[in-house]
């Protein structure tokens, strides 16, 4: 007979599986690059919170872009930005690089993946595959250090035309987020902001220092509508208390005990509408 502990564990695992299935069904396209802090499991919830009728979508901290890619069928102006130059190089190669013979990257062999990872040359297909391996196969998807898993880059590359169709008209920036907001804010804009969760992932991002008071000041004066996700900590709740706040529990992935992303967490979601 199963113990109470075993029953609770089984129910929790079932909830995780159900959530992952819902996410896969809802998201038309999964992010091309994996990044720390992905919102894949929250896309449906966050999309339901979006304002209606916006004509411009701005994502100043795009990272892997779970929300951005979920808008593949939205015929609106889109601006994505990240201060991580290598990530933006990858998006620009995906958008307009000279890509060919992508089947050569169809491998899960670690020696071959390390060859792709250490590529030095000018072939744009090889550069894109290198960045894909860097972000999808490193610990925490941080693009640094040794490869630790044999994810096949061709899993994404075989669908390259779908990704290129979505990103072809997107304005891709590599600037300070404040400049992007100031340049593109308007009354018909919707800004989705997902800055690094510094308190929970310090050191996992190449650029993980955000001045929250500066962010608050900026968002207090924009014309458009915004949705912001942050660590659910007292300093953030207090700083943004003049805006609507929603809380969302995110179920951990259930991988190695104590690993990043294995514990359940509560995210703080902030809106000006």
Domain count, the chain: 2
Indicate if 89 and 58 belong to the same structural domain: no
Strands 265-271 and 244-250: antiparallel
pLDDT of residue 270: 98
Where the chain has pLDDT below 50, the residues are 1-11, 18-19, 21-27, 201-207, 256-259
User: Is 249 a member of any domain?
Assistant: yes
Indicate if 189 and 265 belong to the same structural domain: yes
Indicate if 74 and 89 belong to the same structural domain: no
Indicate if 184 and 68 belong to the same structural domain: yes
- The tens digit of pLDDT for each residue in 197-209 reads 865 544 444 445 7
CA atoms of 183 and 55, how far apart (whole Å): 16
pLDDT of residue 264: 85
* Backbone angle region of 193, left / alpha / beta, with phi > 0 → left and psi within -120 to 50 → alpha: beta
Domain membership of residue 145 as a residue range: 85-168
Last residue of a domain, one of 114, 136, 168: 168
Residues 43, 27: contact at Cβ < 8 Å?
yes
Indicate if 58 and 181 belong to the same structural domain: yes
Residues 189, 225: contact at Cβ < 8 Å?
yes
Torsion over CA: 91, 94, 99, 104 (sign): positive
pLDDT of residue 13: 53
pLDDT of residue 107: 98
Indicate if 178 and 213 belong to the same structural domain: yes
DSSP string, 65-81: -HHHHTTTT--SEEEEE
Indicate if 260 and 271 belong to the same structural domain: yes
Indicate if 66 and 131 belong to the same structural domain: no
Indicate if 272 and 182 belong to the same structural domain: yes
Q: Is 0.75 topped by the overall pTM? A: yes
Domain holding 247: CATH number? 3.40.50.150
Indicate if 225 and 152 belong to the same structural domain: no
CA torsion angle 259 44 59 141 (round to 10): 20
Helix residue ranges, H only, the chain: 4-26, 43-49, 66-69, 85-96, 110-117, 124-136, 154-157, 160-167, 177-184, 198-201, 212-219, 234-239
CA atoms of 168 and 118, how far apart (whole Å): 28
Indicate if 188 and 245 belong to the same structural domain: yes
Indicate if 52 and 92 belong to the same structural domain: no
| Nearest of 171, 144, 128 to residue 32 by alpha carbon | 128
User: Is 14 a member of any domain?
Assistant: no
pLDDT of residue 195: 96
């Amino acid at each position: 007979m199963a113990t109470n502990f075993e029953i609770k564990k089984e129910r929790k695992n079932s909830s995780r599986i159900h959530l992952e299935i819902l996410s896969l069904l809802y998201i038309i396209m999964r992010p091309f690059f994996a990044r720390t802090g992905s919102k894949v499991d929250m896309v449906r919830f966050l999309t339901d919170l979006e304002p209606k009728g916006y004509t411009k979508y701005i994502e100043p901290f795009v990272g892997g872009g779970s929300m951005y890619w979920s808008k593949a069928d939205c015929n609106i102006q889109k601006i994505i930005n990240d201060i991580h130059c290598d990530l933006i190089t990858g998006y620009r190669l995906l958008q307009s690089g000279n890509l060919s013979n992508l089947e050569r990257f169809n491998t899960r062999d670690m020696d071959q993946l390390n060859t792709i990872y250490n590529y030095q040359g000018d072939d744009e297909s090889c550069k894109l595959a290198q960045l894909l391996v860097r972000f999808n196969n490193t610990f925490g998807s941080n693009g640094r250090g040794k490869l630790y898993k044999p994810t096949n880059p061709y899993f994404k590359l075989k669908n390259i035309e779908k990704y290129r169709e979505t990103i072809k008209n997107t304005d891709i920036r590599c600037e300070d987020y404040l400049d992007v907001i100031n340049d593109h804010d308007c009354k018909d804009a919707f800004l989705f902001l997902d800055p690094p969760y510094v308190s929970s992932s310090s050191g996992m991002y190449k650029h993980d220092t955000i001045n929250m008071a500066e962010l608050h000041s900026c968002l207090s004066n924009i014309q458009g509508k915004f949705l912001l996700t942050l660590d659910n900590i007292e300093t953030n709740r207090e700083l943004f208390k003049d805006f609507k706040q929603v809380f969302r529990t995110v179920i951990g992935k259930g991988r190695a005990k104590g690993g990043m992303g294995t514990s359940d967490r509560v995210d703080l979601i902030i809106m000006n509408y």
